[in-house]
Structure 1
Amino acid sequence: MRFFRYYLLVLILSCLPFIGIFLTSLLPHTHDGLVHLARIGAYFKALSDGQIPVRWAGDLNYGYGMPLFNFMYHVPYIISSFFVFLGAGLVSAFKIALVLSFILSGIFMFGFSLSFFKDIKKAFLVTLFYQFFPFRLVEILIRGSFGEVYAYAFFPLVLWGIVLLSKKVNFKNISVTSLGTALLILSHNALSLVFFSICIIFILFFAGKPKNYIYPFFALFLGLLLAAFYWIPAIFEHNYTYGDLFMKDLYTTHFPPIQNFFIPNFLNNSVLQTGGISIQIGLFHTLVFALGIFALFSKKIAKFDKRLTIFCLCIFAGALFIMQPISIFLWEKISLLRQFQFSWRLLSVIGFATSLMAISIFYFGFFKKKIIYFSLLFLLIFSTFYYWKPVLGWDKIDEKYYWNFPLTTTYFGETDLIWSEGPAKKYPLHRVEVIDGKGVVSQLVKKSNILTFKTDNETPIKVVTHIQYFPGWRAFVDDKQVSIEFQYGIYRGHIVFEIPIGQHEVKLSFGESRIRFIADMLTVIGFVFLISVGFLLKYFKKT
């Protein structure tokens, strides 16, 4: 309870930029907001149909479906689906989930900073610098980046767990670190990779002796296992999509001029934007970073502070390098890097580094004065005031349309399948058609992952189901599995199979492929490991 009022203050201050969006039923217009409404609807339907884990969005792509959530992050849609379950509409669920991510990031960042610095003033300062890094608000109210905002939230949770684990090895601290890692990975595919790497670097910098690496690295590994059901299929089944083909050169047009990071853009000048958004580091973040460098070379600072400054300098410089055209050879050689699409996503790293370096103000006596300290925090918060109002305007949403969204919700072919001719352009006249033989199809019922119908056939027939093929689809006639085709004639990418003469009950169901089954089992093993660790630690504590 000692620090409760500080957590409460972080919560209240974190809510300030978003008061306006809850005073209206309209949705702030953002780059990605509208597609997230459709995805929330698709995810909720899939959960309602018993898909666990959710992989297939059955109603998207004009009902042909697509393996959207085999490749797309899960956490934001799980959270928003929970609010839909409680009775919220798509717009309300989206708003609440966005703001909740920001609140969680503040709470977790304060917890991490307090454990790491053991100083309330430093922890509060670092937390507000993390929360009010200008690009954080751009991510929410201009980009509407649903996954990235949750990566910002769970990254400090992982670091908090690592710090706690370095002080005391127990089940709670291992659980915080491993579950935080899993949630981070499930929040955003690209950004989680960056933050996971920083967690490793953080351990190497601050864990002390090599023997202290064991438990933090074990907890990170356990987190990887817990999230295996998602990231393993996302990597190994990625070659079934056109993603690499359509995104291979996208990064080349998204290297911001280096001056755009440092020149304030209070008037929203398009010259200082990249891809239609402001990518400024921010005046106050630039200031504390400069103070940190100055102190490193001109003042006698504690060994810990020196190590922290070097850590921040390393990740800052690395991120800045990758965001510049000089790093293009890395983008050309490393296919995983191209999945970032936009180099400026690494501003997230700079936001974290400059937030930690905010403690550099305490190297200078001037900033230790209470009036100066709180004035700095006040100016920091309200320097972002421009971003509190959605600059792109507002949208009036017909939620019925997004509950039955006909398109794909992707931009660059990330989930367009190689067996098809691209996204569907219209609904089929019939979901199931007899293309050879004589028979009648009746009593058709379609869910997100299951299609059932009956046939009465005068002859053996061949049917096409206008559902996009992806490994995991299986056809059953009278509960007996039959072979399927997915490159048949003009029905490329659709599921085709034969049904014998007579009356039959047919079911087409989507399940796990071999690689997905293995990934699911690794997740189960991860949970067994975690529970086993709890029992073992409890046993050895007693003995």
Structure 2
Amino acid sequence: MLKKNIITAFTLLLLCLPAIFPLFKGGFYSMYDDMQVVRVWEMDKCLRDGQIPCRWVPDLGLGYGYPLYIYYAPLPYYIMEGIHLLGISLINSVKAGFILSVIFSALFFYLFSRRFFKQYVSFATTALYIYAPMRAAGIYVRGAMGESWGLVVVPLIFWALENYLAKKSKISGIILSLSLSIFFITHNLTVLIVLPIFLIWVVLRLKFYKVRSQALIDLFQYSLLGVGLSSFFLIPLIYERNLVHVETLTAGYFGYLQHFLSVSQLFVFTHWGYGPSVIGAGDDAFLGIGPIHTLAVITGLMVLIVKVNKRKLNLALFLFGMMGFLGYAFMSHSKSIFIWQNLSFLEFLQFPWRFLMMPIFISSFFAGFALNQSKGKFLIFSSLATIFIILIFYSRMFKPKDWFFINDSEKLSGENLKRQLTASIYDYLPKSASRAPDDVAPEGLIPLTGEINLKSSIKGSNWFKYDLIVESGMAELALPAYSFPVWKISANDTDIPYTNSGTLGLPKFDLTKGHYVVYASLNNSFPRTAGDMVSIVSLVSMFLIIINNILYNNVQENPALQAGGELNSDKSSSLGKPPSLTRGRTS
């Protein structure tokens, strides 16, 4: 089994190689969201400073900082920071983030596909998922780290559900909890897009497995545990969503009305380019589903519909695939504008073609139903032919337009740094500020009135410490940071009140003549503290479940079916397949 798993893992890596090979080159490349390096840099400052979880970043917003990781899903940046802490440069850590997103996408999609199909078929469906043009655009054109990892968590949660329903063990329940937690903290927009159809899939699979009440209760508890593990992010995100400006996220270029796709762009468009998404059908970019995936889902659905009379499950799968594929594609077309207008929260998706991550997933998966009908050598031939075709047509897209031999110090200094600090300057700007700053924040305290002698100044990730002498009778001073709940300011270990100052909303306080050590720190609000506590309790609960499972050797647990042993296990794979698809299965 170990040897087979190693061979399978090597095959998956080999399958991924054309998609990630350009990223092993030294230096970096241009992308539209050229904020990835600086975001990891800020995360690094947080963790080295003991701000865990990281919420306030000190340098963005032209050095005034803002609460980026309260609102911006942090998991990909924790992963890249973990790589950086191993001694890898920031630039290479970002490239590693993209590389791992492809590898884990392949792994989890393969595991999910293996629940339904033969091994060669699963390799073919995985190739379809890896080499979707929107992934190439996400990595090599747009630099969309969150979306790249969003394509990881979609197959992850679908596989984790199948894994749990097949085994109904404590370990598989914990895997489901962890998967859901990862899902919630990886990419906000992926959650918004995927959660509705995932819940429909849950209902279909519960019906297929004929889950009884106790198992249903267990499923709910493990799902709740997953939400609890991610509460450190979810609770502040929900309860503090009104503390920052978000109107710029949907204004101008980011308004969804400019980014609908035509029918030809959705299904038959094959032009590859490095341009942005623009109004109309003139995009110099491949943002649609493409003809190969469209043909794949049509073929798979045809196989299912032929078998509808034999298996009711096939009808459910057919309807799920057809409605999911066409429904999500419809949301990317201008005819769906009435839905966008009535569901105002959809505007935060910005680009309607983001919905196409689900048609890509569905088409890659449903292609397996067609390929799985073959037998023997013809099955191997058809699967390999599918892989060959997808590589011939789409692997050429997985490369950047240009490349720059640049290192961390060059990327994070001078005009390069200033450009990154000013990019997206209005995103998540605290509402205490009515405008963004015009220039970089001062190094130390800002004297509004009076005279001071600033002897020393230290800036942390979310705190400041100053040693100063107020030389005038009174001085009004302001921190070089936006006011946000909850700044705490003390002078000589005595808490002092503050108010918001000016159009930037800086915390302002008064000091009389004398020598002071001023310390200011951004403390947790109640939602942040509550979220942290819920996550800690959930984490402890998870470990207690694991320990209990180890100590008492739960009789329901079958070690042969654990995640590490199912890459090639026919027994585990057949548990999740519709009965009509399990006959005659060979490796």
| Displacement after TM superposition at 1:396 (Å) | 4.1
CA 1:224–1:321 in 2, change beyond 3 Å: closer, same or farther?
same
Does the CA contact (< 8 Å) of 2:271 and 2:284 recur in 1? no
Residues 262 and 540 of structure 1, relative CA distance in 2, 3 Å threshold = same
Moved more, 393-402 or 417-426: 393-402
2:291 to 283, 287, 293: 283
- The partner residue of 1:455 within 468, 475, 484 is 468
2:239 counterpart of 1:231:
no
Q: Over residues 51-83 of structure 1, what are the superposed CA-to-partner deviations in whole Å (9 max), with x where a residue is unaligned?
A: 101011102222211111111121221121122
- Give the partner amino acid of 2:475: I
Instruction: Return the match for 2:270 from 265, 284, 287.
Output: 265
* 8 Å contact from structure 2 (residues 118, 372) kept in 1: no
CA distance in 2, matches of 1:138, 1:284: 17
Q: Can you give the 5+ residue segments of structure 2 that lack an aligned partner in the other structure?
A: 557-587
Query: 2:288 & 2:258 partners in 1: Cα distance?
Result: 18
Cα distance, 1:513–1:157 mapped onto 2, change above 3 Å: same
Structure 1: which amino acid aligns with 2:111?
G
Q: In structure 2, what is the Cα distance between the partners aligned to 1:117 and 1:148?
A: 26
| Contact 1:246/1:412 (<8 A) preserved | no
Cα distance in 2 for residues equivalent to 1:377 and 1:542: 41
Instruction: Please give the secondary structure, in 1, of the residue aligned with 2:183.
Output: helix
Deviations 1:474-529 (A, max 9, x none): 1111223221111x3x3641111123442221101122112111111221222133
CA distance in 2, matches of 1:467, 1:263: 50
Q: Which moved more, 1:405-414 or 1:143-152?
A: 405-414
Shift of 1:199: 2.8
CA–CA separation in structure 1 for the residues paired with 2:373 and 2:107: 27
SS state of the match for residue 468, structure 1? coil
Counterpart residue type for residue 309 of structure 1: F
Correspondence 1:133-148 to 2 at 5 A: 133-148=132-147
Aligned to 2:381: 371
CA contact (8 A) 2:232 2:534 kept: yes
Instruction: Trace 1:80-479 onto structure 2 (pairs within 5 A).
Output: 80-114=80-114, 116-117=115-116, 119-208=118-207, 209=210, 211=212, 212-244=215-247, 246-247=249-250, 250-266=255-271, 268=273, 276-299=284-307, 302-362=311-371, 368-390=378-400, 392-397=401-406, 399-400=408-409, 402-403=411-412, 405-406=417-418, 407-408=420-421, 411=424, 413-429=426-442, 431-458=444-471, 459-479=473-493
The answer as to whether partners of 1:150 and 1:184 remain within 8 angstroms in 2 is: no
AA aligned opposite 2:31: T
Conserved? CA contact 2:491–2:518, under 8 Å = yes
The alignment partner of 1:455 has SS state of: strand
Query: In structure 2, what is the Cα distance between the partners aligned to 1:205 and 1:315?
Result: 13
Number of corresponding residues = 537
Mapped to 1, the partners of 2:19 and 2:274 lie a distance apart of 22
Note the 1:8-27 alignment, pairs <5 A. 8-23=10-25, 25-27=26-28
Query: Which residue is 1:507 aligned to?
Result: 519
- The range that moved more, 370-379 or 95-104, is 370-379
For 2:231 and 2:378, locate their aligned partners in 1 and report how far apart those are by CA, in whole Å. Answer: 47
Q: Distance in 2 between matches of 1:129 and 1:73?
A: 27
SS of 2:432's partner is: coil
Supply the distance in 2 between the matched residues of 1:202 and 1:94 (Cα, whole angstroms). Answer: 33
Report the Cα distance in structure 1 between the residues aligned to 2:513 and 2:15, rounded to whole angstroms: 69
Mean Cα deviation higher: 224-233 or 262-271: 262-271
- Given the superposition, is the C-alpha separation of residues 491 and 141 from structure 1 closer, same or farther in structure 2, using an over 3 Å criterion? closer
Paired AA for residue 9 in structure 2: Y
AA at the equivalent of 2:70? N
The alignment's TM-score, normalised by the length of structure 2, stands at 0.85
> Conserved in 2, the CA contact under 8 Å of 1:362 and 1:368?
no
Deviations 1:419-470 (A, max 9, x none): 2133222124553133334442221111221110122235343211221111
Shift of 1:174: 1.5
Is the 1:442–1:455 Cα contact (8 Å) retained in structure 2?
yes
Alpha carbons 2:273, 2:284 under 8 Å: kept: no
Separation of aligned partners in 2, 1:98 and 1:276: 23
Superposition TM-score, scaled by structure 1 size: 0.91
Q: Measured at CA, do residues 408 and 416 of structure 1 come closer, stay the same or move farther in structure 2, by a change above 3 Å?
A: farther
Task: Report if aligned partners of 1:41, 1:402 keep a CA contact under 8 Å in 2.
Answer: no
5+ long unaligned stretches in structure 1: none
- 466-475 vs 428-437, which deviates more? 428-437
Question: Is the 2:293–2:364 Cα contact (8 Å) retained in structure 1?
Answer: yes
Question: Is the contact between residue 21 and residue 28 of structure 1 (CA under 8 Å) also seen in structure 2?
Answer: no
- The range that moved more, 392-401 or 3-12, is 392-401
Contact 1:266 1:386 in 2 (8 A): no
Superposition deviation, residue 413 in structure 1? 3.2
Q: Does the Cα contact within 8 Å between 1:73 and 1:186 map onto a contact in 2?
A: yes
3-state SS in 1 of match to 2:58:
coil
Q: Output one character per residue of 1:368-400: Cα deviation in whole Å (capped at 9) or x when no partner.
A: 44323312221122221220222x322343533
Could you tell which deviates more after superposition, 362-371 or 119-128? 362-371
Query: SS of 1:506's equivalent?
Result: strand
Answer whether contact 1:256 1:274 (CA < 8 A) is retained: no
Task: Determine the C-alpha separation between the residues in 2 that align with 1:365 and 1:399.
Answer: 51
SS, match of residue 63 in structure 2: coil
Distance 1:428 1:284 in 2: 51
Q: Per-residue CA shift, 1:14-51, capped at 9, x if unaligned?
A: 1222212323x23232221x211111111111211111
Deviations 1:295-314 (CA, angstroms, capped at 9, x unpaired): 34445564444432322222
Percent of residue pairs bearing the same amino acid type: 24
User: CA, structure 1 residues 274+431, in 2 after alignment: closer, same or farther (shift >3 Å)?
Assistant: farther
CA distance in 2: counterparts of 1:411 and 1:284, whole angstroms: 36
Whether contact under 8 Å (1:159, 1:177) holds in the other structure is no
